[in-house]
Structure 1
Amino acid sequence: MSLLHLLANPAAWAALATLIVMEIVLGIDNLVFISLLSNKLPEGQRVKVRRVGIGLALGLRLVLLSAIAWIAGLVEPVFDLGIAGAVDAHGVPSFETAFSVRDLILIAGGLFLLWKATTEIHHTIDPDDSGDVLDKKSSVAMSFGAAIVQILLLDMVFSIDSILTAIGMTDDLPVMIVAVIVAVGVMLVAATPLANFIDRNPTVVMLALGFLLMIGAVLIADGFGVHVPKGYIYAAMAFSGLVETLNIAARKARARQR
Structure 2
Amino acid sequence: MEIFLLVDTWVALLTLTFLEIILGIDNIIFISITAGKLPSNQIKKATRIGLLLALVFRIILLFGVSYLISMKEPFFSIDLSWLKIGITGQSVILILGGLFLLYKSTSEIRDKVEGIEYSKNSITKKKPSTLKMVIIQIVMVDIVFSFDSVLTAVGMTNGIPGALIIMITAVIISMIIMMIFVVPVSTFVNEHPTIQMLALSFLILIGFMLITEGAHLSNAEIFHQHVGAIPKGYLYFAIAFSLGVEALNMKVRKK
TM-score by length of 2: 0.89
Structure 1 residue aligned with 2:224: none
How much has 1:76 moved relative to structure 2? 2.2
**Offset from partner CA, 1:143-177 (integer Å, 9 cap, x none):** 00000000000000010111111111114111011
Q: Secondary structure at the match of 1:231?
A: helix
Q: 1:12 is matched by which residue type in structure 2?
A: T
Runs of 4+ in structure 1 over 2 Å off: 83-86, 133-140
Indicate whether 1:74 and 2:71 are aligned: yes
Q: Given the alignment, which residue of 148, 153, 158 partners 1:161?
A: 148
Rounded Cα–Cα distance in structure 2 between residues aligned with 1:139 and 1:29: 25
How much has 1:140 moved relative to structure 2? 8.1
Structure 1 residue aligned with 2:91: 103
Rounded Cα–Cα distance in structure 1 between residues aligned with 2:126 and 2:242: 26
Indicate whether 1:185 and 2:176 are aligned: yes
Rounded Cα–Cα distance in structure 1 between residues aligned with 2:239 and 2:188: 16
Q: Given the alignment, which residue of 37, 59, 63 partners 1:62?
A: 59
Q: Per the alignment, do residues 232 and 148 of structure 1 end up closer, same or farther by CA in structure 2, a change over 3 Å counting?
A: same
Rounded Cα–Cα distance in structure 1 between residues aligned with 2:81 and 2:146: 33
Structure 2 residue aligned with 1:51: 48
How much has 1:186 moved relative to structure 2? 1.7
Structure 1 residue aligned with 2:104: 116
> CA contact under 8 A between 1:40 and 1:139: conserved in structure 2?
no
Rounded Cα–Cα distance in structure 2 between residues aligned with 1:247 and 1:232: 23
> CA contact under 8 A between 1:124 and 1:135: conserved in structure 2?
no
Q: Secondary structure at the match of 1:228?
A: coil
Q: Given the alignment, which residue of 204, 207, 211 partners 2:202?
A: 211
Indicate whether 1:176 and 2:174 are aligned: no
Structure 1 residue aligned with 2:35: 38
Structure 2 residue aligned with 1:245: 247
For structure 2, the residue ranges without an aligned partner over 5 or more in a row are 217-227
Rounded Cα–Cα distance in structure 2 between residues aligned with 1:237 and 1:136: 31
Rounded Cα–Cα distance in structure 1 between residues aligned with 2:183 and 2:190: 10
Rounded Cα–Cα distance in structure 2 between residues aligned with 1:121 and 1:24: 26
TM-score by length of 1: 0.88
For structure 1, the residue ranges without an aligned partner over 5 or more in a row are 87-95, 128-132, 254-258
> CA contact under 8 A between 2:37 and 2:118: conserved in structure 1?
no
> CA contact under 8 A between 1:56 and 1:152: conserved in structure 2?
yes
Structure 1 residue aligned with 2:5: 8
Rounded Cα–Cα distance in structure 2 between residues aligned with 1:78 and 1:182: 36
Rounded Cα–Cα distance in structure 2 between residues aligned with 1:28 and 1:99: 29
Rounded Cα–Cα distance in structure 2 between residues aligned with 1:139 and 1:152: 22
Structure 2 residue aligned with 1:234: 236
